[in-house]
Structures are given as C-alpha cells and as structure tokens.
Amino acid sequence: MPLPLYLLAMAVFAMGTSEFMLAGLLPGIASDLDVSVGTASVLTSAFAIGMMVGAPLVAALARNWPSRSSLLGFVLAFAAAHAVGAITTSFPVLVATRAVAALANAGFLAVALTAAATLVPADKKGRALAVLLSGTTVATVAGVPGGSVLGTVFGWRATFWAVAALCLPAALGILKGTPAGRGKDDATGGPALRAELASLARPRLIVVMLLGALVNAATFGSFTFLAPVVTDTAGLSELWISVVLVLFGAGSFVGVTVAGRLSDRRPGLVVAVSGPLLFVGWPALAELADKPVALCTLVFVQGVLSFALGSTLITRVLYEAAEAPTMAGSYATAALNFGAAAGPAVAATTLSTEFGDLGPLWMSGLLVAVALLIAFPLRTVVAAGRSAEVLQ
C-alpha cells in the first residue's frame, strides 16, 4: 500500500478519536455543563448529523479542488473546532463546535475515501479502505481510551485539547506526503456532478447504504452508552471504562483487518457469518453485562463483528458507486453517519424504560435484526465478488 494512504490514516486517527471519545466523556460533560447524560448524547448525534449532511455537500463543493489543499483545510478546521470546544462553558456552543468539526471530518473523509480508492488498483479497494479505517480502529484502541483517562484525571476539556494537538502532525503528514495536484479523474475530465448524483437512483447502491446505516446505528447506539453499563451495571470503577473501550477498539481493529482481506473477494461470506453473530451478541451482552468477565469478552467480540460487517458494507458502497468517482466516498460517509446519528438518538429513548442502561444493547440487537431481514432476500447484492465489479 502506498505511503500517502498511511498518512491519510494518521489524520483519520485524530478524527476517529474525536468521534468515539464521547463514549467515555459523556458523564463528565453532563455534570460539568449541568445537563443529563441523555441530553449530552446530543453531542454524538450532532457530530453524526453534521457528517451525514456535510459529506455529500462538501464533497460536491470540493470535487474540483486539489486533494492536498482540501484535506489540509479540513484538518485545520477540525483542530480549531476542538480548541473552541475545549474552552466553552456553554452546552449549545459545544454542540455547535461538534457540528463544525463534523463538517470538517465529513469533507476530509469523503475526499480521503475517494483518494484512497484512486491510489490502488481497481480490485484493491477493500484493502485500501482497511488501511484508511485502521486510523479509526487504532483510535478506539489507543486514542479513545487515552482520552477517557485524560478526561478522568484532568477533566473532559483536556481530551478536546489533545485531539486538537493530534491534528497538527496529521496536517504536516498531509502537506509532506500527499500529491499537490488533482486526482487522475479530475485531470482527465471525470463525469459531471449531475451524472454522479444520478447513481444514487441505483437500487443496489441504496440497499448497501441502508444496510451500512443500520449496522452503524447498532454499533453507535451501544458504544455511546457503554460507560454507564461499565460503572453501574457491572459495578466497575471509572478507570475500567478505558479498559472496555480498549477491548472494543482492539476488536474493531481485528474486524477491519480480517474484512480487508475478504471484502473484495468474499463479501457474502463476511455478511453471512458476522451478521447473525452480531445479532445474537447484543442481547447476550445485555443479559451478561453484570458479569465483568463476560462483559469484557463480549465487548471485544462485538467490536470484531461490528467493524468486519460495517467495513465490508462500506466497500460495497464504493464498488456500487464506481460511476461516481468523486462522490462515492461521500455516499459511504453519509450512510454510515446516518446510522451514527440515528443509533444514539434511538438508543437514548430506551434509557427511561424498564431496560435502563441496558436498553441501548437491546435496541442494537433489534437494528441488526432489521438489517438481516432486509439483506436476506437481497443477499446477491452484497455477495457479489470483486471480479464482477472490476469487469463492469
């Protein structure tokens, strides 16, 4: 894999740390800004909505800009949003900074996903995506737990400052390692924006985007509310939140790595194996969450399955949107973040029910069940191998 791909992954690490870190910071933010944990979860939804809306919008605006300038500008805007968030004492302002950071993240990821696909041969998109997403999974392994520790010891604002600082070496890496010119599709006069948008009418593309959204909704719906499960249900100390997040992140790294090897050639196998197991895993986690060993084990397993299935579906979006070379990345980003916005919002409604802190885990199981019901009769859409796509 080419070096610029790893430099893009470095920036994704900084942004992934921010996207996931609230799972360990929500109680502290809620207490400091005098809001409930459920209200504080709006920060997660605001970020996801910003990415969902911003991905296609910013990608359309930036489709004719040089890739390096676009990526650099997005990273610096992301850093500035976190600096403002670190000093504000207003919850609405903090929500606004999350929305701005999300727009920057959306623009970066949409351009980066497209750029990653152009850096490798047409039949290696899955592996390129795995390298890019390794930035996110490493963030869940190291960045998010590290941020949780910072938040526990020094307060949640320290984590926001740390994310802003992480953006600086990422920006330098982009400046030094990413080609200054426009992509090869731009240079040769790629398809018009209207033609790229028309690809959204393809039923196969709509199906894989919907499946990706549902799986990500399940992932974020539970991940966002893991902290109270660890401390209240399992009865562990706050420092164990970081341990559980590390386990989830380690599992996600394994899942993305395995899927990167299989999603180009055997996407149907990944979906057939990980989908039903993921569906069973969320209710199992809800039933066994009061047992620390079972909690830690199942969190790791769910991390593996969630990211194996999710990254495979992202790869399918990129293949199905092959006729939209500058917008494909934004379609994948929008689908995933629609799920990331809806998941915590839907899961939060279960907190006031008889299920309490375990409600999000049951809701995640339901969301995966819906995805499986949709996928089964349309399984040929996600089972197509790379060879069929390359020949199109």
User: Tens digit of pLDDT for each residue in 240-271?
Assistant: 887 888 888 888 888 887 877 676 677 778 88
Q: Is the pLDDT of residue 238 over 70?
A: yes
pLDDT band at 191 (very low <50, low <70, confident <90, very high): low
Q: How far apart are CA 388 and CA 319, in angstroms?
A: 10
Q: What are the residue ranges of helices labelled H in 88-237?
A: 91-118, 125-138, 144-154, 156-177, 184-187, 193-198, 203-223, 226-228
> What pLDDT is stored for residue 100 in this prediction?
92
pLDDT band at 389 (very low <50, low <70, confident <90, very high): very low
Cα→Cα distances 349→221, 343, 344, 346, Å:
11, 10, 9, 6
Contacts of 215 (CB under 8 A, 6+ apart): 278, 306, 309, 310, 313, 339, 367, 368, 371
Average the pLDDT over 357-366 and give the result: 94
Q: Tell me the helix, strand and coil percentages in the chain, rounded to 5.
A: 85, 0, 15
Average the pLDDT over 310-319 and give the result: 81
> What pLDDT is stored for residue 380 in this prediction?
61
> What is the percent of the chain where pLDDT is above 70?
81
Nearest to 42 by CA among 108, 96, 89, 81: 96
Highest mean pLDDT among 30-34, 64-68, 259-263: 30-34
At 67, list the tokens.
């890739």
> What pLDDT is stored for residue 205 in this prediction?
84
